[in-house]
Amino acid sequence: EKEIAIAIDGPAAAGKSTVAKIVAKKLGYIYIDTGAMYRSLTFSVLNNQIDINNSDKVINHLHDISIDINANQQVFINDENVADAIRTEEVSKNVSAIASIPEVRQEMVKRQQKLAEKRAVVMDGRDIGTQVIPDAEVKVFLVAGVEERAERRHTENLQKGFPSDLDQIKRDIKKRDKMDSEREVSPLKKAADATEIDTTSLSIDEVAENILSLVNTKM
Ligand code: C5P
């Protein structure tokens, strides 16, 4: 059976990672969460009190650290487990600024391309179909209304026992989408050959099934 690359892009909280994990598991592929890489750098920059507006320092810091994600989605910066630390509001608020630095993206894309070299990957992010794996056999662009996405994230937070403010989530999602869509270098954008799936009225399993049927046509 042929091993392919699957690129899943879309705005914040569109369900990309949830669906990507299901698809990867079904196929026995590796799942790579590229957002976790940008979040890790952001966490480390904040944690080391580096000025996020000083792009030279941010870039140098990226060259100094290793970011590793294992099969269980545990994220490590130089062997320190930061899986929870990268999900804070503080990181979410600052990540889009860090991700807009061209040299940061260049280095991240290089690292991500290396991870996708052998195929058999499901990778999610904002620029996977456009920049990281432009020749991915399957490209999907997930969308859903901002209300729906905020509601889902809110419910997820409450289920996990995290404090959660629906209006705050909505504002943060809107702001992040705006920054990610308007940045100069590889903005959030549907690749011309990507299949758009509106997940607003679909269950997680239905979205996964949709993607798996696209995969079937390529194998
Ligand atoms: O996927 P997630 O929402 O965790 O990503 C966090 C942020 O990382 C995004 O809002 C975006 O600024 C950045 N990102 C990116 N390119 C990617 C993945 C994430 O710019 N491929």
The 3-class SS string of the chain reads CCCCEEEEECCCCCCHHHHHHHHHHHHCCEEEEHHHHHHHHHHHHHHCCCCCCCHHHHHHHHHHCCEEECCCCCEEECCEECCCHHHCHHHHHHHHHHHCCHHHHHHHHHHHHHHHCCCCEEEEECCHHHHHCCCCCEEEEEECCHHHHHHHHHHHHHHCCCCCCHHHHHHHHHHHHHHHHHCCCCCCCCCCCCEEEECCCCCHHHHHHHHHHHHHCCC
pLDDT at 105: 98
pLDDT at 51: 97
pTM: 0.96
Contact 105, 185 (CB under 8 A): yes
pLDDT at 14: 95
pLDDT at 219: 87
**The ligand 1 atom nearest the CA atom of 92:** 6
Q: Hey, which of 9, 69, 126 would you mutate to test ligand 1's pocket, going by the most ligand atoms within 8 Å of its Cβ?
A: 126
Contact 50, 58 (CB under 8 A): yes
Residues of the chain with pLDDT under 50: none
Which residue's alpha carbon is at the smallest distance from atom 5 of ligand 1? 35
ipTM above 0.90, yes or no: yes
Separation of CA 1 and ligand 1 centre (Å): 32
Which class does domain 5-216 fall in? alpha beta
- Rounded Cα distance, 177 and 196, in Å: 17
Question: Which residues have any ligand 1 atom within 6 Å of their CB?
Answer: 12, 34-35, 38-39, 95-96, 99, 125-128, 176, 180
pLDDT at 162: 86
Contact 18, 156 (CB under 8 A): no
Which residue's alpha carbon is at the smallest distance from atom 4 of ligand 1? 35
pLDDT at 213: 98
Strand-strand pairing, 75-77 and 80-81: antiparallel
pLDDT at 1: 76
pLDDT at 69: 95
- Rounded Cα distance, 189 and 128, in Å: 10
Separation of CA 205 and ligand 1 centre (Å): 23
Q: Hey, which of 8, 16, 21, 34 would you mutate to test ligand 1's pocket, going by the most ligand atoms within 8 Å of its Cβ?
A: 34
pLDDT at 167: 97
Separation of CA 161 and ligand 1 centre (Å): 24
